[in-house]
Amino acid sequence: MTIANKTVLITGASSGIGESSARLLASKGARVVLGARRTDKLKEIVDSIAQDGGQAAYYKLDVTDPQQNKDFVVFAKEQFGSVDVMFLNAGLMPSSPLSALKTDEWNQMVDVNLKGVLNGIAAVLPEFVGQKSGQFITTSSVAGLKAYPNGAVYGATKWAVRDLMEVLRMESAMEGTHIRTATIYPAAIQTELLSTITDPGAKEAMNQTYDSYQITPDRVASVVAFAIDQPEDTNVSEFTIGPTIQPW
C-alpha cells in the first residue's frame, strides 16, 4: 500500500511541519486527520485541503491527555474506517540554560515532547498490533542526536524519542506485528517553536540561527511522504534534514 488511501493521523498539525505534511499527503491521496489545540487553524487547513479535492478531518487534541489521544484514534476510525500511520509531531522548544532553572518549562517539554509521544503510541498501538500493520513517524530534532547549550531538557526529550522508536521497531519485528517506524531529526526548519522560548539569551541565539539558515517545512513533509511510500516490507528508520548551508 502506498500513500494513497492510507489514513494518516498527525499531531501538532496546525502549523509548520504538521500542516505541510497534511497538505502534501492529502495531495497524494491520503486521508489525513489533523490534531492540535487550535481548532480555528485546523479548520482552515482542512477546508483548504477539501477545496483542492483532498480528504481531511480535524480533532481538538491536547497530546498530554491520554484519553484525548484515544478519542483522536476513535474519531479517525469513525471518519475513514482505519488507521494506518500516526505522525507524532507535536512539540515545544522553550530552550534555556539549566542555570535559569525554568523548571515549569522543563516539565512542559517532558509532558508534550515525551509523554505526548507515549500517549500517542499507547492510543494507536493496539490497533496496529491487531491489524498487524501500521507506521509511527516522529519528529525528533538534531538536538536528539548531539548536545547543544541551552537545549539540555529539550534534547533529552528528543533523545528519548529516538530510543522509543528504535525499540518499538525492534520489538515489532520480534513480535511479528509488522509495525514500521521512522524518526526525523530536523535542523533549522521554519517553525513556530521559537515563540515558546522565554529566556532572552537563548531566544536571541536561536533567532539568529534560524534567520541565517532556516528552510521551509515542506522540505520535511517530503521526507515524511517518502517514509510512508516505501513498500510495506521495508522500514526506513532515521532521517536527518536541514539547510545545506547550516553547520549543525
Q: Which three cell numbers stand for residue 46?
A: 482542512
Rg of the chain, C-alpha, whole Å? 17
- Give the SS3 label for residue 108: helix
Exactly one of 58, 59, 154, 185 is catalytic; name it. Answer: 154
| Active-site residue, 154 included | yes
In the chain, which ranges are E strands? 7-11, 31-36, 55-60, 85-88, 134-139, 179-186, 238-241
**Alpha carbons 104 and 127: distance in angstroms, whole number:** 34
**Alpha carbons 14 and 241: distance in angstroms, whole number:** 21
**Alpha carbons 62 and 194: distance in angstroms, whole number:** 20
Q: Which three cell numbers stand for residue 8?
A: 494518516
Chain centroid offset of residue 58 CA: 16
Q: Is the dihedral of CA 52, 180, 70, 154 positive or negative?
A: negative
DSSP 114: I
CB atoms within 10 A of CB 58: 26
Q: Helix 152-175 and helix 116-131: axis angle, to 10°?
A: 10
Report the catalytic residues: 154
